[in-house]
Chains A and B, each alone.
Chain A
Amino acid sequence: MINRRNFLVKSASALAITFVVPSLLSGKAHAKKPLAQKVTDKQSWGIHVDAGKCVEGCTACVDACNEENGLTGFGRPETDSQWIRKVTVKNKTTDKITTMPMMCQHCENPPCCDVCPTGASFKRVDGIVMVNQHTCIGCRYCMMACPFKARSFVHETLTQQNTNAPRGKGCVESCNLCVNRIDHGSETTACEDACNKAGHSAITFGDLKNPSSKVRLAIDSNSPRRLRNDLNLQQKVFYSNI
């Protein structure tokens, strides 16, 4: 006879078998940080972009970022928030045209943090450069300091923000390497997922300190460079084939 208690116990064990066991078997590439633990400098997040694989006209990464972070425009391209954008450049001597995504380059020596009067612009110990919106006063010095124009200012009252991506008027914002996803153990950013799904695989995210991470493999098998290397900002976003 199955009584209520028995049924519950049985369903609970069935659940455990279906959902716990696969997670044991899946063999994650990096150990997931327990949610209660603070981030450490044992990891250093970065991105490799293979511009050779980036396709002109494709905006999959931009669209995915907008969806992930609830970025909606007001039909004002000059001021609407962009955390990632597509840039097309032409080499003057060879006429070679390259298209690639540009986002916060997550500098090791970030000028945005140097100029921030409140410390709201900061580099997390695992290398993510971001804005603490609770202390941002909206002065926009960081936007002027950034050589990559990676930051946006929210000019309008917002509604319909995503639970995982609070944002609002009067604050500066930029790519945070999908920090919420990463903290919850995701191994990909939204832009990377979308680029893979579109069949291009131009974006690779991962831990730069782990020699067998996918981003390190991508970096080691290409010979990428940093943009504006002359500024010695030691960015953690690398570009190949530009």
Chain B
Amino acid sequence: MKHLKISFLIFILSVGIQNVSSHDGSPHVTTGKSKADSQEACVEPTELMRKEHYMFLLHQRDETVIDGVRTKKHSFANCIDCHVSYDEQGKAIPINAEGQFCQECHVKTATNITCFSCHAAEPRFPQHSGMTSKMNSNDINELVKHINNDK
């Protein structure tokens, strides 16, 4: 009986994960659009990200805080920048809000993360720094800023 329960649980979990793994056309249940929606690939193969995204985050966490490594690839801020969705007004929807990218899947897989009690759940920069993040990357200024930031 116990085994049955466990296999049922595993079944539910795997179905849950498959349901949210979209990007093949069907929307991954987010309301608006994110930069990721218009891109082909994540920072690592999707299969790997689905299973081990948190390993990259936890590794980057110590590399950055203790050793000052500031690469963009596995940066938490960068995940949010690419995966956060925007409403019709172009305003970012917190990525941990109900139905949003990080939250949706974690609810389904019964995962709880506390990262967003400290980390901004949408791109937010001090007014003066001139760093903004908007959906419209046609904007030449935006492009220039990204190019400059990437160096």
Q: Which chain A residues have a beta carbon within 8 Å of chain B's beta carbons?
A: 15, 19, 23, 33, 35-39, 67-68, 70, 122, 124, 126, 132-134, 157-158, 160-164, 166-169, 171, 179-180, 183-184
Contact = CB atoms under 8 A, between A and B. Distances in A.
Given A163-B120, A163-B123, A169-B117, 5 more contacts: A35-B70, A67-B128, A161-B119, A166-B120, A168-B118
Contact of A124 (B68, B80, B128, B144): B68
A25 to B, nearest CB: 15
Contacts of A19: 144, 147-148
B134 to A, nearest CB: 14
Interface string B49-75: 000000000000111011111111000
Interface of B: 61-63, 65-72, 77, 80, 117-120, 123-129, 143-144, 147-148, 151
A161 B120 contact: yes
B118 A164 contact: no
A70 B71 CA distance: 23
Contacts of A37: 69
Given A19-B148, A163-B80, A168-B118, A183 B125 contact: no
A79 to B, nearest CB: 18
**Does more than half of chain B's interface fall in helix, strand or loop, or is it mixed?**
helix
Contacts of A126: 68
**Does more than half of chain A's interface fall in helix, strand or loop, or is it mixed?**
loop
B76 to A, nearest CB: 8
Contacts of B143: 15
A162 B69 contact: no
Contacts of A134: 61-62, 65
A166 B119 contact: yes
Contacts of A36: 69, 71
Given A67-B127, A134-B61, A167 B118 contact: yes
B77 A15 contact: no
A23 B70 CA distance: 20
B147 A15 contact: yes
B75 to A, nearest CB: 10
Contact of B124 (A33, A158, A162, A169): A162
Contacts of B61: 134
Nearest to B78: A163
